[in-house]
Amino acid sequence: MENREQAVKRRLTRRHRASRWFRRISGLALLLAVAFLMFFFYDIISTGWSAFRQAEIQVPVSYTEEVMEIPAMAVPEAYEELVSRGWIRLLPRQMRENPDLLGTERREWVVASAPVDQYLKGRYATLDDEQRALVDQLQASDQVRLGFNTGFFTHGDSKIPEISGIWAALVGSILVITVTFLISFPIGVMTAIYLHEFADDNWFTQAIEVNINNLAAVPSIIFGLLGLAIFINFFGLPRSSALVGGLTLALMTLPIIIISTRAALAAVPDSIREAALGVGTSKWRMVRDHVLPLSLPGILTGTIIGIAQAMGETAPLLIVGMIAYIPDAPSSFTEATTVLPAQIFTWAGMPERAYTSRTAAGIIVLLAVLLTLNATAVYLRRRFERRW
């Protein structure tokens, strides 16, 4: 008997130990997911942070006649590799716009070239010893500095890393999202209202519902194929334009908005509908004056989440041609446009190392926008959520 009791006790200890281990392992899994997120943010921020600062260099600039022909003549030869080619290239235009500059000579702070920038940030740089020595010497006399990189927010894309920026992509993203919102929000809300408030439960309604749920899970790249075949090849809308990109993303966002709007409508208790109908309002007025206002926070939350998702989407936009090289911000919906995620993709594929930190900086901006949107959605939900 003694033996058996001991065996049971032993087994019990083992089982309890196994139980504790299971708890630890499942906690570890959650910890792993959280740790990954931390590492991810650390990695992206540490890679991208330096791109918000840009090396500038003080050089003597002489605006002579020759500069109009050979812009590089404006700076002493030793500095030629140290200042940005993008700045040098703009000199003739600057001189044409300000004729007074001709014949003057002055010291100016100008954008330094990418190798100087990388060198100052302590990374591998393609400078020879002489150039290094010069930069060191300039640094000692405070003629080289790392300043806030305003150009990153005000320039468009460029093949010269130090003067490339996200402005064009930001404007493009706003244009595309405007189209997406204008199409998907009204149609999505109207569909949800019809399905939840008006439709009878018949095969037609059920077909629409199954269809919407499936659309929500279709891979985004398939929407790109649809956009290419229908909007571009069939309707002949301009390739790479904000219009086509926005329409494609609108079809992708539509199911998300419909599903969340339906959930918001379903959360409004029937007593409110019955009260409205009971005093003789028509069905549409009941929806417009009572159900919709009450479910509006929920609808907006779902819409913001859908729009945020569309804003981070890249794959379908690649298919409809939105990876064009766009140096200037687009000014209409039919011009060739790029968006922030597509710009990140383009930069990620650039061979120059200077683009790596710019890519990560672009990612930081994108994540900041998306997290703000999502936080707004969560705030809306918390602030206006009503339990009935």
Partner 1 sequence: MRVQIGMSTQQTLLIFLASLALLSAVAFLLGRTKASQARDNGQHMHSQPGEYGQFAAVAVALPALLAGGVLVVLETFGVLELAAGLPAWVGVGAAALGMVYGLRRIEPELRARNQVETVIRWLLIAASLVSILTTLGIVVSILFEAIRFFRLVSLWEFITGTEWSPDAVFAGGQGQFGAVPLFAGTFMITGIAMAVALPIGLLSAIFMSEYASPAVRTAAKPVLEVLAGIPTVVYGFFAAITISPYVVALAEFIGLDASYKNALAPGVVMGIMIIPIISSLSDDVISAVPNSLREGALALGSTQAETIRHVVVPAALPGIISAALLGVSRALGETMIVVMAASLRPNLTANPLEDMTTVTVRIVDALTGDQAFDSAETLSAFALGLVLFVVTLSLNLVSTVLVRRFRQKYE
Q: What is the DSSP letter of 236?
A: -
Helix (H, G, I), strand (E, B) or coil at 144: strand
The least CB distance from residue 269 to partner 1, in Å, is 19
Place of tokens 């405070």: 142
The least CB distance from residue 126 to partner 1, in Å, is 20
The least CB distance from residue 281 to partner 1, in Å, is 10
C-alpha–C-alpha distance, residues 62 and 57, integer Å: 15
The least CB distance from residue 189 to partner 1, in Å, is 8
C-alpha–C-alpha distance, residues 18 and 20, integer Å: 5
Q: Which is nearer to partner 1, 26 or 126 (CB)?
A: 26
Q: Which residues pair with 112 in a beta bridge?
A: 83
C-alpha–C-alpha distance, residues 34 and 117, integer Å: 34
The separation between CA 160 and the C-alpha centre of its own chain, rounded to angstroms, equals 22
C-alpha–C-alpha distance, residues 166 and 91, integer Å: 23
The separation between CA 333 and the C-alpha centre of its own chain, rounded to angstroms, equals 19
The least CB distance from residue 210 to partner 1, in Å, is 8
Q: Which is nearer to partner 1, 72 or 225 (CB)?
A: 225
C-alpha–C-alpha distance, residues 205 and 252, integer Å: 20
C-alpha–C-alpha distance, residues 195 and 201, integer Å: 9
Q: Is the dihedral of CA 255, 261, 267, 271 positive or negative?
A: negative
The least CB distance from residue 330 to partner 1, in Å, is 15
Helix (H, G, I), strand (E, B) or coil at 143: coil
**Single-letter code of the amino acid located at 344:** I
Q: Which is nearer to partner 1, 114 or 342 (CB)?
A: 342
Q: Is the dihedral of CA 347, 352, 358, 360 positive or negative?
A: positive
Q: Which is nearer to partner 1, 101 or 318 (CB)?
A: 318
The least CB distance from residue 347 to partner 1, in Å, is 9
> Cβ of 168: how many Cβ atoms within 10 Å?
24
Q: Which is nearer to partner 1, 91 or 323 (CB)?
A: 323
The least CB distance from residue 79 to partner 1, in Å, is 32
Q: Which is nearer to partner 1, 84 or 314 (CB)?
A: 314
Q: Which residues pair with 109 in a beta bridge?
A: 58
The separation between CA 57 and the C-alpha centre of its own chain, rounded to angstroms, equals 31
Q: Which residues pair with 56 in a beta bridge?
A: 111, 145
The least CB distance from residue 28 to partner 1, in Å, is 8
Q: Which is nearer to partner 1, 98 or 372 (CB)?
A: 372
Q: Which is nearer to partner 1, 79 or 223 (CB)?
A: 223
C-alpha–C-alpha distance, residues 142 and 365, integer Å: 30
Q: Which is nearer to partner 1, 148 or 198 (CB)?
A: 198
Contacts of 359 by beta carbon, 8 Å cutoff, 6+ apart: 48, 344, 347, 348
Q: Are 87 and 111 in contact (CB under 8 A)?
A: yes
Q: Which is nearer to partner 1, 68 or 174 (CB)?
A: 174
Place of tokens 């998907």: 184
The least CB distance from residue 263 to partner 1, in Å, is 13
